[in-house]
A = this chain, B = another copy of it.
Amino acid sequence: MAEVTPTTRDGSASARIAEAVRRAILSGEHQPGERIVQEELAERYGGSRIPVREALRQLESEGLVRLVANTGAWVQSLTMAQCSEVYQTRERLEPLLLRHSAEHLTDEVIHTLDGLAQKMEASDDIEEFLELDRQFHFATYRAEGTYVLRDLVTRLWNTTQPYRRAYTGLVDQEHMRIFHDDHHMLVSALRDGDMKLAEQIVAIHIRRTRVNLERHPEIFPDTDPDQE
């Protein structure tokens, strides 16, 4: 999986564990709402509970894990409203990030994008599809120099990953067709260097996905047990 880590600066155990748990959550190995026991992670990744706890703190700050004092940790689950909120945030931020990336989108990058878009269209495996989709969009986000915005967007993608997975399993041919069309249109706009259009396409693409997600309340938890 690519582009999963928002902010890792050291190679210590706690960072390693944070990365591993993050991947486990994003890959669907740990489902939203699932309990996380410190000692299990410690044993699994070979260490004591100390680095595990630090990793969980970090993941909590990233919105992937929910900690309750003296009680435990759970994989964060979002209500539909919260998920929608994240998507609305992405609608605003990703066009901005794309704009910052404009100068780095060389012919070579665009060629890669084209390849990814086609490969995605040929894919019939959900996990592969999700991974390609992620690679595609982040390939367009190459803003360099500073990383605040890309980190932010990465986190937003991460927190909504489980619902993207659930939704992808439900989507019909017609919507999938439109989804792929968006990608091809984006590649085309970028090839023409029409950044204004590209930004609009990204915003619409995200919004389209959000609206579709909102049509499937069944993939979200029924009640929202006061998880602030």
Contact = CB atoms under 8 A, between A and B. Distances in A.
A195 interface: no
Contacts of A60: 7, 58
B228 A57 contact: no
Contacts of A82: 146, 148
Name A's interface SS: helix
Copy tally for this chain in the complex stands at 2
A86 B148 contact: yes
B146 A85 contact: yes
A23 to B, nearest CB: 17
Interface string A124-155: 00000000000000000000011111001000
Interface of A: 7, 9-12, 14-15, 50, 53-54, 57-58, 60-63, 66-70, 79, 81-82, 85-86, 88-89, 92-93, 96, 100, 145-149, 152, 159, 228
